[in-house]
Amino acid sequence: MIVASFLTKNGLLHWKKGAAWFWNTLVDANLAFNTMNWQWVACCGVDAAPYFRIVNPVT
């Protein structure tokens, strides 16, 4: 979640690119969990709220 938040909010990476990389890299990847978590962090899923969903790695 921290990586997804950093890449989508700070790095301005599209969530599909991050999801595709994790899908190809992880041995135990789950399509539904991976896709929905990236959408949730990028705030473009079914419960989007883009202005306050930023994961802070320090706290």
Encode the chain (59 residues) as per-residue pLDDT tens digits.
888 888 888 889 999 999 999 899 988 888 888 888 888 888 886 766 666 666 776 76
pTM of this structure: 0.73
Give the integer Cα–Cα distance in Å for 12 and 31: 22
Domain range annotation of the chain: 1-59
**CA 21, CA 56: separation in Å to the nearest integer?**
22
